[in-house]
Amino acid sequence: MQAPTHILTGILLLEIFRAIFPTAALWIQIVVVLPLAVASHFLLDASSIITYHPPKADWKDWFWVSYHSVIYIGAIVILVFYLVDYWWVIIAANLPDIVDWLILRAIFKKKPVCHPVADKIRNFLFRKTPNWNHKRWTIIFEFVIVGVLLTSVLLLQKIVSV
Amino acid 159: pLDDT? 85
Amino acid 110: pLDDT? 95
Q: Over 90: is that where the pLDDT of 114 sits?
A: yes
Give mean pLDDT, residues 121-131. 96
Average pLDDT value for the chain: 96
Q: What is the pTM of this model?
A: 0.96
Domains of the chain, residue spans: 3-161
Residue scoring higher pLDDT (161 or 12): 12
Q: Using H for helix, E for strand and C for coil, what is the string for the chain? A: CCHHHHHHHHHHHHHHHHHHCCCCCHHHHHHHHHHHHHHHHHHHHHHHHHCCCCCCCCCCCHHHHHHHHHHHHHHHHHHHHHHHHHHHHHHHHHHHHHHHHHHHHHHCCCCCCCHHHHHHHHHHHCCCCCCCCCCHHHHHHHHHHHHHHHHHHHHHHHHHHC
Q: Which of 54, 31, 49 is nearest to 118 (CA)?
A: 49
Q: Using a CB cutoff of 8 Å and minimum separation of 24, what contacts does 122-131 make? A: 122/45, 122/46, 122/47, 122/48, 122/49, 125/46, 125/47, 126/46, 126/47, 126/49, 129/47, 129/49, 129/50, 130/49, 130/50, 131/49
Q: Over 90: is that where the pLDDT of 130 sits?
A: yes
Share of the chain above pLDDT 90, in %: 96
Amino acid 24: pLDDT? 97
Q: Over 80: is that where the pLDDT of 105 sits?
A: yes
How sure is the predictor about 162, in pLDDT bands with cuts at 50, 70 and 90?
A: low
Q: Over 80: is that where the pLDDT of 158 sits?
A: yes
Amino acid 145: pLDDT? 98
pLDDT, tens digit (0-9, with 9 covering 90-100), for 23-76: 999 999 999 999 999 999 999 999 999 999 998 999 999 999 999 999 999 999
